[in-house]
């Protein structure tokens, strides 16, 4: 490699690792989910500002069936992180521990969803809140559908419209919780 080119590459590498000052506000350092913390044994280096949701759901695995077809098997409930990869990342930590470790817990609202599970949703990831329309093709306890911003939602598939989160709070209750977090975040910035 040419010496001048090598020096430029080294300088760019150094600059890209330095803390970034975006309009006077420091961006958070990249975070790590180690191979020991990941269910899949993969290390993930990610931007904690991109985490949009943390939720516990059964771990889905693919296995070959008798005739060679792929079958989905649902395992034990496992914490999944949305927003840092193309599909949710399963981890070993609890949602609360993950959010606290990455110092982002104050940016998330806690909601109740299917099977009375807690959903931790980033307040700024909420794009749309709607009430379900009759006839109910969903759990009757579901009072709101919450559509996330860009990126995969729950049950993500290759489509332009993400699936909504189904929660037990009414649209007004969700709005109140989300707005309270947004005001709190604005005041702390």
The full DSSP string for 21-58 is: EETTEEPPPPEEE-TTTBTTS--EEE-GGG--EEEEEE
Q: Which whole-number Å values give the CA distances from 17 to 31, 88, 135, in the listed order?
A: 13, 26, 53
Mean pLDDT of the chain: 80
Give the model's pLDDT for residue 48: 96
Q: Would you state the pLDDT for residue 182? A: 92
List the single range of 13-17, 114-118, 163-167 with lowest mean pLDDT. Answer: 13-17
pLDDT of residue 157: 43
pTM of the model: 0.75
**Taking residues 165-185, what's their average pLDDT?**
93
> Which range is least confidently modeled, 5-19, 54-68, 155-169?
5-19
């Amino acid at each position: 490699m040419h010496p001048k080119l090598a020096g430029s590459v080294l300088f760019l590498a150094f600059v890209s690792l330095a803390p970034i000052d975006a309009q006077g506000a420091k961006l958070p350092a990249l975070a790590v989910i180690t191979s020991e913390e990941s269910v899949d044994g993969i290390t993930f280096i990610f931007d904690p500002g991109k985490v949009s949701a943390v939720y516990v759901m059964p771990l889905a695995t693919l296995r070959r069936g008798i005739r060679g077809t792929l079958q989905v098997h649902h395992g034990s409930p496992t914490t999944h992180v949305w927003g840092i990869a193309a599909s949710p990342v399963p981890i070993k930590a609890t949602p609360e521990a993950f959010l606290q470790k990455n110092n982002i817990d104050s940016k998330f609202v806690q909601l109740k969803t299917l099977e009375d599970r807690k959903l931790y949703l980033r307040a700024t990831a909420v794009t749309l809140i709607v009430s379900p329309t009759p006839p109910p093709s969903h759990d009757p306890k579901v009072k709101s559908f919450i559509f996330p911003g860009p990126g995969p939602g729950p049950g993500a598939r290759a489509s332009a419209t993400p699936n909504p989160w189904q929660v037990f709070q009414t649209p007004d209750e969700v709005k109140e919780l989300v707005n309270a977090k947004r005001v709190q975040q604005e005041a702390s910035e």
